[in-house]
Structure 1
Amino acid sequence: MAEIRLHNLAHSYSRIPQNASDYAIREMNHVWEQGGAYALLGPSGCGKSTLLNIISGLLSPSQGEVLFDSVVVNALPPEKRNIAQVFQFPVVYDTMTVFDNLAFPLRNQGMAEPQVLSKVHEIAEVLDLHPLLAKKASNLTADEKQKVSMGRGLVRDDVSAILFDEPLTVIDPHLKWKLRRKLKQIHEQFNITMVYVTHDQLEASTFADKIAVMYGGQIVQFGTPRELFERPSHTFVGYFIGSPGMNLIDVEPCEGGVAFANTQVSLNAALNQRLETLDYKQLKIGIRPEFVHLWDTTSADRSGGTQLQDTLSGDDAFNAEVIHVEDLGTYKILTLNLDGQPLKVRLQEDQAVPKLRAAVSFPAQWLMVYADDFLVETGTQEAHNESA
């Protein structure tokens, strides 16, 4: 097991990169601690696989260093880094039996055959491969082959880390949850540093203790699934995490808060003061559909809107038009038009659905402000986050 540290790491496929867009990996400093279970999450083309291949040694970075337990390994080839990598498509030796596939890396190390036998059976037990040990790998299903691929990485005692590059892509959906659970069990049993690359937020959340979200060649946030959901550090994290993603609205500063069209949203004094000190080109507010407060105005629809106007007499409630309702069984997604801006609201199964108009408000705890796509933090918020 190893701590993996990236120091001033960057990579470009261009021979002479001119600007940030020429970099597949923009300069970053990042640490995966020894024995941790991590996910690298992001859309296709964001640099996830490039970063994984740099760590494993399949690719040399344009600049910066990769360190295993504080030792620079840039010059070491993959076979010297003691890294096991499980790829998107299973890599097995079809002409060999499952037993021989699992034994192959051990025999390459010159391990005595009794030890090989013991180790292979130990891993076969963990991955439920005992019934398949005598089978040729060519006769296995895709998920069975992928378990053999994983087993080849786990069978070695000297592995510094195991890197998974979207390993469940070819697996049938109904089998994915089994393998995700199996990976979690393996990590808990062997305490191996694991980095799991995926574009699926469910896979990342169920496997990893901490998730690094990548966007445009950068890690824009590194945190627990809860931190990513409740306090996205970047608008992309807000958009990418959650179903549906965070509501994001372009705004302009105004007296006491921010505004869009004819709607003003109040901000607390600390946020207003912080915005005054920042130099930015674009300002947005964000709130998750789960956190938008929907006022009970069902009787207002029937009374011609009188009660709705009474509800809106406070500064924090807004009048919106109901556009669409999606019934997803255990919850509903309400789409509103709030002064020309689309707004998603998540309703519980038993929550009343407004017919024509709706009154909504944005609780201050869950309303985020983003300057040039990065979360605006106040000193109070930063101290709270550090103590949490």
Structure 2
Amino acid sequence: MASITLDGLAHAYRPDPRGPQDYALKEINHVWRQGGAYALLGPSGCGKTTLLNIISGLVTPTKGRILFDGRDVTNLPTEARNIAQVFQFPVVYDTMSVRENLAFPLKNRHLPREAIARRVEEIAGRLDLTSVLDRKAANLTADAKQKISLGRGLVRSDVAAILFDEPLTVIDPHLKWQLRSTLKELHRALDLTMIYVTHDQTEALTFADTVVVMHDGAVVQTGTPEELFERPAHTFVGHFIGSPGMNLLPASVEGRTAHIGGEHGVSVELARAYPALPAGERIELGVRPEFATLTRPGSGVPVKLRRIDDIGRARIARIEIAGHPAAATVPGALSLNGDEAGLKLDPRQIHIYAGGVLVAGEGGA
């Protein structure tokens, strides 16, 4: 078990990088505490797999260092780092039984037979593999094989960290929630550092205590799931997390008032003042649909109603605010005729961004 420090880490796949645009992974300084449950979240191509491969030793970074418990492992191979890695597709020995697959990493470390048996039974029980322990892996489904792959990563108690690279891709949707919950329970029970790479926000937010959101090779925010939802530090985080994502509307701001749509647009009152926004930057108002409630015409900000989507757990209105598309929550009892409507916004949940970056504002909540 180990804390993992990323010290000025950056990586380029070209031999002569000349600027930030040449780096697949831009400079990162971060500490992964021992025993933490982390997720690397972002779209394909954002750099998260490159970062995971640097941590595991499959890739040597162009710049910076990686330390395990203060020990520089930057140039050490994977086998010298004492980590376990679970990949997107199952890695199992088809000719072995499930029991033999789970025991294999422990036999290689010459643990006593009784200790191996106890550990295999424990992990198999947690992953619901007990009934197939003596079956050949070749005869099992892709779901079961990935459970074996997960078990092989979890069976060792002496690893510095366990790295998961989108491990639930091949799992049937109805089993994903169960396995995410199982991984969370195992993390609490085993006190291991776990780093989980995914492009799926549900997987990241339900597994991790701390989520690292990546975009275009850079870390744009690190925080708890609640922090990422309630106070996105970057417009990408607001857009990427949430379903639907945060409404982002071009605006101009004067003190505690935001103006959307120019001279003939609408005004929105803010909870904080923004007296010194940077010149030349794109200014945007961000508010999540959960904090924007559709109401009757003449109440709140005037909007045009385009349609209402019933998504089962809620109704989401697709609207236009001064010509800009947005989404809002529809109260259960609300019924409207025509396309005229109002919008009530919670000022405490409105955020202002300059050049994509959250601006703190002054005063207020």
TM over 0.5: yes
1:265 aligned to which of 259, 264, 267: 267
CA distance in 1, matches of 2:42, 2:269: 31
**What is the match of residue 321 of structure 2?**
338
Matched, 1:79 2:79: yes
CA distance in 1, matches of 2:281, 2:4: 36
**What is the match of residue 157 of structure 2?**
157
**What is the match of residue 286 of structure 1?**
286
Query: In percent, how many aligned pairs have the same letter?
Result: 50
Residue type of the alignment partner of 1:363: D
Name whichever of 288-297 and 7-16 sits farther off.
288-297
CA deviation vs aligned residue, 1:315-368 (integer Å, no higher than 9, x gap): xx3221111111222311111122111121122434434532111243220111
Residues 380 and 211 (structure 1 numbering): CA distance in 2 closer, same or farther, change over 3 Å? farther
**What is the match of residue 25 of structure 2?**
25
Equivalent position SS for 2:146: helix
Measure how far apart 1:60 and its partner are. Answer: 0.6
CA distance in 2, matches of 1:351, 1:101: 57
CA deviation vs aligned residue, 1:192-225 (integer Å, no higher than 9, x gap): 1111111111111111112111111111111111
Residues 114 and 293 (structure 1 numbering): CA distance in 2 closer, same or farther, change over 3 Å? closer
CA distance in 1, matches of 2:342, 2:118: 66
CA distance in 1, matches of 2:349, 2:280: 22
Equivalent position SS for 1:60: coil
Matched, 1:374 2:365: no
Equivalent position SS for 1:273: coil
Measure how far apart 1:270 and its partner are. Answer: 5.2
Residue type of the alignment partner of 1:40: L
CA distance in 1, matches of 2:159, 2:125: 19
CA distance in 2, matches of 1:251, 1:127: 50
On the 8 A contact 1:164/1:197 being kept in 2, the answer is yes
CA distance in 2, matches of 1:322, 1:269: 26
Aligned residues: 363
Equivalent position SS for 1:52: helix
On the 8 A contact 1:333/1:344 being kept in 2, the answer is yes
On the 8 A contact 1:329/1:349 being kept in 2, the answer is no
Equivalent position SS for 2:290: coil
Measure how far apart 1:266 and its partner are. Answer: 4.8
CA deviation vs aligned residue, 1:106-151 (integer Å, no higher than 9, x gap): 1211223233222222222222222222111111111111111111
Residue type of the alignment partner of 1:321: K
**What is the match of residue 209 of structure 1?**
209
Residues 376 and 201 (structure 1 numbering): CA distance in 2 closer, same or farther, change over 3 Å? same
**What is the match of residue 358 of structure 1?**
341
**What is the match of residue 250 of structure 2?**
250
Which structure 1 residue ranges, 5 or more long, are not aligned? 298-307, 312-316
**What is the match of residue 65 of structure 1?**
65
CA distance in 1, matches of 2:337, 2:41: 36
Higher helix share: 1
CA distance in 2, matches of 1:150, 1:105: 12
**What is the match of residue 312 of structure 2?**
329
Q: How does 1:1-388 map to 2 (within 5 A)?
A: 1-254=1-254, 257-259=257-259, 260-261=261-262, 262-266=264-268, 271-275=273-277, 278-297=278-297, 308=298, 311=299, 317-353=300-336, 355-378=338-361
CA distance in 1, matches of 2:348, 2:271: 14
CA distance in 2, matches of 1:114, 1:345: 59
What is the RMSD of the two structures over their aligned residues, measured on CA atoms? 1.9
Residue type of the alignment partner of 1:227: E
Which structure 2 residue ranges, 5 or more long, are not aligned? none
Equivalent position SS for 1:30: strand
Residue type of the alignment partner of 1:359: G
CA distance in 2, matches of 1:349, 1:202: 25
The two structures have a TM-score, normalised by structure 1, of: 0.88
Residue type of the alignment partner of 1:127: L
Name whichever of 70-79 and 266-275 sits farther off.
266-275
CA distance in 1, matches of 2:329, 2:132: 46
Equivalent position SS for 2:360: coil
CA distance in 2, matches of 1:269, 1:231: 14
Equivalent position SS for 1:290: helix
CA distance in 1, matches of 2:314, 2:114: 56
